[in-house]
Amino acid sequence: MDFYSDRTGLKDFLDQKVNQYNQLDFIENDPISVPHQFQSLQDIEISGFFAAIFAWGIRKTAINKTNELMQLMDNNPHQFILNATNQDLKPLLKFKHRTFNTTDLLYCIDFFKYHYSTFNSLEDAFIPKNLTQEYTIELGLNYFNQYFFSLPEHPTRTQKHISAPKRGSSCKRLNMFLRWMVRQDTIGVDFGLWKQIKPHQLIIPEDVHVAKTARLFKLLNKAESNWKSALELTNNLKELDAQDPVKYDFALFGLSIFEKFKNLED
């Protein structure tokens, strides 16, 4: 069977891998483990946002740093952000994860305090008000970027941590966060808490591992990872499942990380 040219065979193979890796034991060693420690919508959103934003480099380090930040927020991030005094914020002043520093963290806290003073959910930050055209994730991510940096005197340096399609980025980390919040199935790895954004609208979180495996299956032709390549890959995955294309994130990532997948004969 030539999986490369036969989309039916490829779908069967990747569906099998989705079922293999979309399991609860996937959670422990993935950044999604952090929001799974919480119960309230807002705590899941805030912890999930930081877990996704910190998710580059060594996964264990990213998980540990996100857990460290949650502990500094008394493991109650929503209430901490809404009520923190300058004295409460002092323990956070030494927090750093790679190039994400105190300036970035304090601005994120300011934004969340501003947003949650009006809205119940962070989902509203991804949906433009008075929308006059069909909603797309590209539209939502660009709106989020504009909204996130709408507070007075926002730090320019923080922009490198919050990507946007309008800057050409594949937006891997934010797309991963959206997958967590929007996708829902009977397994329970992803939360499926947001209902305004639909699973079929999601864009694949295209990291180096996903992209490498996708190219082997000829699901991705572009050599560079950017917004156009994320769209190309997602559109090809929609041929396999139009309603839930990003479920194949589990398969492509798992094949690369856990199986060191190189070719179909391995």
Q: In a 3-state reduction of DSSP, which class is residue 94?
A: helix
Residue 1 has pLDDT above 60, yes or no: no
pLDDT tens sequence across 108-134: 999 999 999 999 999 999 999 988 889
DSSP structural state of residue 97:
B
Q: What is the mean pLDDT of residues 82-109?
A: 96
**In terms of DSSP H, where are the helices of 93-239?**
102-116, 137-148, 172-182, 208-216, 227-238
Q: Are 139 and 133 in contact (CB under 8 A)?
A: yes
CA pair distance 103, 94, nearest whole angstrom: 10
Q: Are 234 and 179 in contact (CB under 8 A)?
A: no
Q: Are 225 and 219 in contact (CB under 8 A)?
A: no
Instruction: Determine if residue 22 is left, alpha or beta; phi over 0 gives left, psi from -120 to 50 gives alpha, anything else beta.
Output: beta
- What sign for the dihedral angle of Cα 26, 27, 29, 32? positive
Q: Give the distance from CA 73 to its chain's centroid.
A: 21
pLDDT of residue 265: 37
Q: Give the confidence band of 261 by pLDDT, cuts at 50, 70, 90.
A: low
pLDDT of residue 200: 98
**Residue 2, Cβ density class (10 Å: 0-12 exposed, 13-18 middle, ≥19 buried):** exposed
- Mean pLDDT rounded to a whole number for the chain: 94
Question: CA of 141: how far to CAs of 9, 18, 29, 137, in Å?
Answer: 34, 26, 27, 6
Phi, psi of 97, deg, nearest 5? -135, 105
Q: Are 257 and 30 in contact (CB under 8 A)?
A: no
The pTM of this model reads 0.94
CA pair distance 73, 71, nearest whole angstrom: 5
CA pair distance 23, 81, nearest whole angstrom: 32
Q: Give the distance from CA 170 to its chain's centroid.
A: 11
Q: Give the confidence band of 213 by pLDDT, cuts at 50, 70, 90.
A: very high
CA pair distance 38, 242, nearest whole angstrom: 31
Token look-up 């396999």 returns 240
Closest CA to 62 of 91, 93, 99: 99
CA pair distance 124, 22, nearest whole angstrom: 27
CA pair distance 205, 203, nearest whole angstrom: 6
